[in-house]
Structure 1
Amino acid sequence: MDIEERTYFNGLGYQVFGPILLGYIRWIKERYKERNLDLILCPSRDGFIVNQVMTKFYPEIKTSYFYTSRLASVIPLLSSKNDLCSMLDLYRSWPETFTVSLLLDRLGIGYLVDQLEHFDLYEGYCLRKDNIIYDKKFLAFFNRFKNDIYINSNSQKELLIKYLMPYQGKTLGFVDLGSGTILSSLASFCREYNLNIKFESLNFQGGDRSYFCNINDAYIKVLFRFSYILLELFFTAPHSSVVKYEREIDNKLMAVLSKNTNDFDVTNSLHLGAINYMKKHFLSDDCLESVFSEYFQLGMYPDIDALNFWKNIKIDANSKNQELLCPVDLRKKNIKDIFFTLKSSLWLSGQLTLLRMPKWMLKLIYTTYFIKYKLIK
C-alpha cells in the first residue's frame, strides 16, 4: 500500500467509520450497565476493533477477545446430531450453491478431500442444501466418513469446554455483527454440555434489542442491501479466521488460524483512522442517525475516482476469497455476464458506479427499494 492509498483509507476510517464505531461502543457501554453484564466478549474477528477501543476508552468495563469462528463454534456440536440435515442446520446461512470442499470444511473433515474421487466426487462438485439428501454420491461419502466427523467433533468439544471454563457462572455481552451462527452455537453448546454461561446479544443490527432498533428500518435495509460489506471489512480483524483448537506442548489451548493471503493494510488503516476519530470526538454528542450520514454517501453513491482505491481489495465472503469489485469491460461482456456480476457483487452500488451508472439512476433504485421495504413493513 502506497502513501496515497494509506492516506485515503485513514481518512475513511476517521470520517466514515469513526462515528459508527463511537456510537456502537457507547451503546455497548449502556447495555453493559442496563443488563448487569459481567463481561463484554468480543469474538474474532468481528469484535477485534471493538475490543481495542473498549479496552482503551472504557477500561473500567471488563472486555475479552475470544478466538472463535463459525467452524470453531459449530464443529464441536456436530457429534450431538444424528443426521446430515441436522448438522447443516447448525449453520444459519449457506450460499445458494456450495462446493463439496466448503461442506467438508464445515463438517470438520476438510483433510479428506483426497477421498472424494473414490465416490466420483471432486472439490468443486456443487451441492444445494435443500436437495443434498437426494445426492446419492455425497450421501455415500458422508455415511462412509460420518464416524470421522464425530471423532473430530468430540475432540474439538473437549477443547472448547476448556476454553469456555473461565467464563463459568458469568453473564456475557456478546458483540455480534453477522447472522448469529456463532452466538447461537455457543449458547447451544453451553446448554448441551451443562456449562453455566449466559450470553446476551449485543447485535450491531437486526432485532428490537440491537444497536439499530431505533433507526428507520427501511433506510437501514436499503443501505445495507447495497453496501453492508464495507462495514464487514471495517469490523474484521487483521488476522485470518479460526479453523480449530489445539493443545500446545505445555497443555495450553491454541487457536489455529486459516492460511490467508489477504493483505490487511486496508483494515489496519481504517482502524487507525477510526481510533484517531475516537480520540478527538470521544466526548461529542452525535445522535444515532447522524453517525451514518458519511457512510450513506460512501455506500450508496461512491465517487468513481475513489473506486480506484477499492479495485484490488479481496475479502472473505460467502466462504471464499472474493474481489470486492469485479472489473467489467462492457465491450467484451454480454448482458447475461453483466447481470451475473451484479447479482454476485459484494458492493452493489460500487459495482453499478464502476459500470458508469449515473447518480440519478442510483437514487431512483434506492428510492424504489426504500418504498418496497416501507410497504412490506
Structure 2
Amino acid sequence: MVNKKYSEKYNMQTFNAAWLQKIRDFIATADVISCDVFDTLIHRKTRKPTDIFELVSEQIIHENAFPRDEHLIVSFPTIRVYAEQKARDDAFVRYKHWEVSIKDIYDSFQEITNCSDEIRHYLLEKERYWELQLTYPNPIMLNILNEALNNGKKIILCSDMYSAANIIQNRIEHAGYPKNLPIIVSCENSCSKHDGKLFSILKKKFPYGTKIVHIGDNVHADVKMAQKNDIPSLHFSYKEDIDRIFLSHIASTEENLVNSLSHGIARYLLIQNEGRNVHDLWYLSGISVFGPLFVGYFLWLINNLKKNTFSKILFLARDGYFFHKMYQKWAKQLDLNTPSEYAYVSRGTLLYPSLSDMNWDRLWYQFGGKKNKSLKEICEKIGLPTSLYLKKTTECNIFDVNQEFESNSSLLHKFFVSLGPDILNESKKKRDIVSKYLRKFIPDHDSVALCDIGWAGNIQGSMSRILRTSGDTTKLEGFYFGTFPWSEMNASIYDTFHGYLVNGDNIQDYNDILLNGGVELLEFATMAPHGTTLGYRETETDINPILETSTDDQRMQKLSSAIQSGAWDFANAIMEILPVLGEEEFITRSWADSFIDFVSYPSIHEARTFGVVTHSDAPGATCNRTHLISTPRSSDEEDIEYAEKRSFWKYGFETLYKERCK
C-alpha cells in the first residue's frame, strides 16, 4: 500500500484513516464480506506465529515441570515446526491434501519424540494458552466488521489453520469481535484457500449472483486464489506496512526471542493505542527503540543486584529517574526488596569538590566539550575569578581572558596546573555541604549500589573521594549503561564499576556507536522532568538541591518525557509476560539491537528530528547547549567537515549531509 519510511507527513493517524477508507470503498457494494483471520482480524504480540513455541518452551523450563525431559522441552520449538510439516506430508501421501488438525500435529510430535501423554497434553495446553494471551484485534477490521453488520452485510471467515472452528471462534470473540461469526477452516474441509478449493465451498454457501468480496494478508492464498475463483479480493498488508514504515529498526533486528517479543509488543502498542500520540516520532521511538533498551538494562540491573547484598540502591539524577520508577513498580515482583532512593547530583556539583589532588584529567571533565571556551568563562564556572590571576595568565601566554580555546589547549593545561594549590583550596571549601548532602543517602561503612547512565565513572568516583576525605569506607558499586576504558581513572578499592552495553576494557564493541551519538541520544532519552543540579542550599533542618530552570532544557525535558511515555508503555506490556517466563533467561544485550540500528542508520526524518535536540557541552548549567547535529554553513567540503567534527551524532550527520547507504 505504502512504499516509504516514516515521515512527518505520513503518521499512524493518516495510515489508519487511509486503510479504513480503502476497505470501506472496497466493500461498499458487497453483499458478503469474507475475511481471513490471522494477521487480518487478529494479531499476535510476537514477530512470527512460530515464536509462540519459544514461549511455551521457556515457560515450562522456568516451571521446571519436566526436569527429566528438559532436552525435549528445549527442543520443542524446532520439533513442533517439523512435526507440523511431517503431519502435512503424511496427509498428502494418504489423502492427497495437506490439511491437518492440531491433533494430527501432536500425534506426529509424539511419534517423533516418543513423549508421554502428560507432556503432550501439557505442551498443547501451553500453546493454546499463549495463543489466547497474546492475541489482540486489528482495530481497522474490528471497525469494518461492526459497520458492515450494522449495514446489513453478511460476514464469513475463511482460515487456513490447523485449529478447529470453535477454537478460532473463541479467540476472535476473546479479542472483541461479534459472537457466532460463521467460519470455514481448512482443517475441517480437507482443502484450503492456498489451493483455492476453500473459496469454492464459500461460494456454495450463498445464492448465485451474491456479490462476495474477500480481505486477507497473504498474496497467494487471499488474493490470487480468491480472484481465480472470481471473488474480488483486497490485499490487507497492514502489518507488513507498519513494520516497514514505522518499525524499521526493530523489524530488522536479529531473530531471537527477545527481539521477537520487542517487535511484537512495539507493533501491538502502535496498532492498539489509537487514542495516544502514536503518530508522534518521540513516542514511537520510545516503544520501539528506547523501551526495549531500558527493559534490557533494568533486567540486567536487577539480576546483578540479586548477586550481592546492598544496604540501599541509589538512583542518581537525572539519568536514573526513569529506572527508579521501574524499580519502585517491579522490584518486588522480581523478588528484590533492597530499599531505594533518588539523589540529586550532577558532574557539575561533584567533580570540583572531589579534587583532593591535582588531577588534570578529572579537572578537564569540569569544562571539556566540543565548544571552545574562554579562560574567563571556565574560571567563573569553577569559582576562580580571573582578576586575581592576571599575572599568571600572561606567564602562560594567555593575553586575553576572553579569548576562546579548545578544551585540550596546552595553554589552559599550563595555566590550571600552575594554580594547583588555589584550585584544591576552593575545592575543599565546596566539599563540606556536598558531603553533608551525600550523608543523607549513604550510610558509613556499608555497601551501596548506584544506578546511573555511566561512561567515565566521574560521578561515582567523585562521590567516593568526597566520602573518603572524612574517613568513610563505604563501598560503592555502580551499575551503568556503559563504562569506557578511561573510567579506570576513578578506580579504587572502594569502587566497582559494571557496564551493560560496554564494560571498561572487557566489552568494547559498541564504543564507536556510543561515542558518535549514542551517549548523547541516551542521555536525552533518560532525562528526568526536572533541571540539572547546580548546587545545594542548607537550612536549619535539611540540605536541598538547587535545580536549574532553563527554557531550552525544559523543552528537552518535554520531548524526553514523550519518549519515556512510550518506553513506559513498552515496559508495562513486556513485564506482563516476562515474570511467567523467568526474567533470568532474558539477561542479554539483544534488547539494545533496535537502539544500535537507530543510532547507526537513522532515516532522514529521524536525523532531522533528533538532530535538533540540544545537549549540554560540559558539566554544570545546561543553558550552554549545542545541537546533536551541527548544520554546515555551506556545501563546501571544508564547511561540511567542520560541522561534522562539531556534531555529537556523526551517523545522523552523515545521513543528512553525506551520501550513505546501509
Q: 1:287-366, aligned counterparts within 5 Å?
A: 288-319=588-619, 320-328=624-632, 332-360=634-662
Residue 603 of structure 2 aligns to which amino acid in structure 1? D
Determine if the alignment matches structure 1 residue 252 to structure 2 residue 558.
Answer: no
Q: Which runs of 5+ in 1 are unaligned?
A: 361-377
What's 1:121 paired with?
400
SS in 2 for 1:65: strand
Q: Given the two structures, how large is their TM-score scaled by the length of structure 2? A: 0.47
Residue 530 of structure 2 aligns to which amino acid in structure 1? H
Q: 1:87 to 1:240 in 2, by over 3 A?
A: farther
Determine if the alignment matches structure 1 residue 276 to structure 2 residue 276.
Answer: no
User: Any runs of at least 4 consecutive aligned residues in structure 1 with deviations exceeding 6 A, and if so which?
Assistant: 3-6, 113-119
Residue 435 of structure 2 aligns to which amino acid in structure 1? I
Q: 1:339 to 1:160 in 2, by over 3 A?
A: same
Max Rg structure: 2
What's 1:179 paired with?
456
Moved more, 224-233 or 298-307: 224-233
1:133, CA displacement in angstroms?
5.1
What's 1:108 paired with?
383
Is the CA contact 1:75–1:108 (under 8 Å) kept in the aligned structure 2?
Answer: no
Q: 1:174 to 1:315 in 2, by over 3 A?
A: same
Residue 500 of structure 2 aligns to which amino acid in structure 1? Y
Question: 2: distance between equivalents of 1:303 and 1:261?
Answer: 28
Q: 1:29 to 1:124 in 2, by over 3 A?
A: farther
1:65, CA displacement in angstroms?
1.1
Residue 548 of structure 2 aligns to which amino acid in structure 1? S
Question: 2: distance between equivalents of 1:305 and 1:71?
Answer: 34
Question: 1: distance between equivalents of 2:277 and 2:401?
Answer: 44
Residue 617 of structure 2 aligns to which amino acid in structure 1? A
Question: 2: distance between equivalents of 1:203 and 1:191?
Answer: 22
Q: 1:312 to 1:57 in 2, by over 3 A?
A: same
What's 1:239 paired with?
530
Determine if the alignment matches structure 1 residue 227 to structure 2 residue 517.
Answer: yes
Larger RCO, structure (CA 8 Å, separation 6 or more): 1
Q: 1:311 to 1:114 in 2, by over 3 A?
A: farther
What's 1:371 paired with?
none
Moved more, 121-130 or 51-60: 121-130
Q: Given the two structures, how large is their TM-score scaled by the length of structure 1? A: 0.79
Q: Which runs of 5+ in 2 are unaligned?
A: 1-275, 394-398, 486-496
Q: 1:202 to 1:218 in 2, by over 3 A?
A: closer
Cα displacement string for residues 220-248 of structure 1 (whole angstroms, at most 9, x for unaligned residues): 12322433121121122233322222213
SS in 1 for 2:425: helix
Determine if the alignment matches structure 1 residue 132 to structure 2 residue 421.
Answer: no
How many residues are treated as equivalent by the alignment?
342
Cα displacement string for residues 130-182 of structure 1 (whole angstroms, at most 9, x for unaligned residues): 443545xx788x58x938x735x344322122212232233111124231111
Residue 107 of structure 1 aligns to which amino acid in structure 2? I
Determine if the alignment matches structure 1 residue 41 to structure 2 residue 41.
Answer: no
Is the CA contact 1:244–1:256 (under 8 Å) kept in the aligned structure 2?
Answer: yes
Is the CA contact 2:376–2:402 (under 8 Å) kept in the aligned structure 1?
Answer: yes
Q: 1:18-57, aligned counterparts within 5 Å?
A: 18-57=291-330
Question: 2: distance between equivalents of 1:253 and 1:296?
Answer: 40
1:19, CA displacement in angstroms?
1.1
SS in 2 for 1:77: coil
Is the CA contact 1:168–1:196 (under 8 Å) kept in the aligned structure 2?
Answer: no
Q: 1:356 to 1:71 in 2, by over 3 A?
A: closer
* RMSD over aligned Cα atoms: 3.3
Question: 2: distance between equivalents of 1:220 and 1:354?
Answer: 22
1:302, CA displacement in angstroms?
0.7
Q: 1:346 to 1:76 in 2, by over 3 A?
A: same
Question: 2: distance between equivalents of 1:123 and 1:5?
Answer: 48
1:271, CA displacement in angstroms?
1.1
Q: 1:76 to 1:224 in 2, by over 3 A?
A: closer
SS in 1 for 2:546: strand
Q: 1:251 to 1:130 in 2, by over 3 A?
A: farther
What's 1:370 paired with?
none
